[in-house]
Amino acid sequence: MNAFGQVTVRAALKAEILAKFAECLPVAFIIADQNGLIHLVNRQTELLFGYEQTELIGQPVEILIAETLREVHVKHRADYMEEPHTRVMGSGLQLSARKKNGKEFLADITFGPMITTDGMYVVVVVTRRREDSLA
Amino acid sequence: MNALEEITERVLQKAAVLGKFIEAIPVAFLVVDPKSAIYMVNRQAELLFGYDQSEMIGQTVELLVPEALREAHVKHRVGYLEEPHTREMGTGLLLSGRRKNGTEFPAEISLGPLVTTEGLYVVVMVVRRHEGSFL
């Protein structure tokens, strides 16, 4: 293969990896818009919460939070939108998440702002606390 | 705009959104190639391990594993590649990570296989855990 061929193969591989990357992430993530509406979820989120993605898209993210926390969450996210920043796993929030069947579990939540030409979105990563999953 | 220009524009838009998504993920990750060399890392991985991406890319993943565990890690990853599967965060491995400065930290590792035309790549997510969450 000549040098041009190699560059083409490398570029194609990179494009392939980027295209498949999101679906291969071994963690539940949600992309929400600036109004807190869910735009996209991955398979891990469906498994973690017991919803199909079609049931989540367009809903406010509070659907995934324990009922007692919803009101305060709306406030928190309004504050976050005023001053978006990355909260890394390990320094993030812990809160009670709520599955479709009403069961709650302790979750670690982290966020990363994503600024696009359509405005701001937030990538939210949700992991179940490990202690909880061992109990 | 002609058809080819439209396609090119769509591809570029998609690539730009993907790039932003990847940058926004609030968790450290690496993408590892079929020979277990590091192919791609994000900013969070640079911050967590204290290396610049140029120092990590092309190295085997054991660069980031404490010396005492490296041999066992090579075995584990060979075993994983024989039977690749998604190991989600929360059900992931507990391991130690090693920073550039030699310090170690407890880490949870989750893995997502990414099958390409050039072989199996793996998305590796690394979350620093506080000592307490080991229990």
Fold of A26-134: Beta-Lactamase (3.30.450)
ipTM above 0.90, yes or no: no
**Is B113 within a domain?**
yes
Q: Assess whether pLDDT exceeds 80 at residue A129.
A: no
**Is B17 within a domain?**
no
User: Rounded to whole angstroms, what are the CA distances from B54 to B32, B38, B58?
Assistant: 14, 10, 8
User: Rounded to whole angstroms, what are the CA distances from A7 to A15, A85, B54, B79?
Assistant: 12, 36, 19, 32
Compute the mean pLDDT over every residue in chain A, rounded to the nearest whole number: 87
Q: Which residues of A touch B116 (CB under 8 A)?
A: 13, 16-17, 20
Determine the residue of chain B that is closest to A18 in CA distance: B18
Q: Assess whether pLDDT exceeds 50 at residue B47.
A: yes
Q: How confident is the model at residue A25 (pLDDT cuts 50, 70, 90)?
A: very high
Q: What is the pLDDT of residues A60-114, one digit of tens each?
A: 999 999 999 999 889 888 888 888 888 776 666 788 999 999 999 999 888 899 9
**Is B12 within a domain?**
no
CATH for B85: 3.30.450.20
Nearest-neighbour CA in chain B from A22: distance (Å):
8
Residues spanned by the domain of B118: 27-134
What gap in Å lies between CA B38 and CA B55, rounded to an integer? 10
Compute the mean pLDDT over every residue in chain B, rounded to the nearest whole number: 88
Query: Is A130 in contact with B130 (CB distance < 8 Å)?
Result: no
Tally the domains of chain B.
Answer: 1
User: Rounded to whole angstroms, what are the CA distances from A130 to A24, A111, B87?
Assistant: 21, 19, 13
Determine the residue of chain B that is closest to A87 in CA distance: B26
DSSP B57: T
Q: If you average pLDDT over each of A15-19, A66-70, B1-5, which comes out highest?
A: A66-70
Q: Assess whether pLDDT exceeds 60 at residue B135.
A: no
